[in-house]
Amino acid sequence: MTEPAKLDKLIIARAAAYAQLVAMPAALINSSLSGRADPPEVALTLSFLAVVVGFGIAGFAAGVNATRDVAKYGAVAALVSFVPVELIAILGRMDRGDPIRLLGIVMHGAVASGIGLLTVKLGQRRQQANLNRNDVSVTSPLEGQQ
């Protein structure tokens, strides 16, 4: 029986780090705005969308860097980037006295992983396009003429 291939932790860490550049500030903004008595809905929505984009960035970056099992890399990278974002959300809920629901956390993690799965193919296409561009052989127009 063969062992399952292990995922390269560096690829996952890089992809999750790229995601944090967008998702973490947005999560902090969302958490701080949620604590207000009358939170601005537009700002909450935009910060939520920025978090979602961050998960997409994780999948994309994993797709660009992974050479095999790209779907796994995209899902895991997005899930890894989800953990600190959700930690901020949990701390915000605790600060406000709101309940913490385990099912909600699991569902949000599944959504984050799904977003990574959706965007990993875009990253893989980008990687393939870069490889094709670099493999083009340059020949002289006079080559082949005798």
Residues 6 or more apart from 88 whose CB is under 8 A from it?
24, 27, 28, 31
Mean pLDDT of the chain: 88
pLDDT at 3: 59
pLDDT at 38: 87
In this predicted structure, the answer to whether residue 82 has a pLDDT above a threshold of 70 is: yes
Look up the pTM and report it: 0.83
Q: Where are the domains of the chain?
A: 9-127
Q: CA-CA distance, 75 to 58, in Å (whole number)?
A: 9
DSSP annotation of 66: -
Q: Which residue from 114, 109, 115 is spatially nearest to 56, judged by alpha carbons?
A: 115
pLDDT at 55: 97
Q: CA-CA distance, 6 to 103, in Å (whole number)?
A: 29
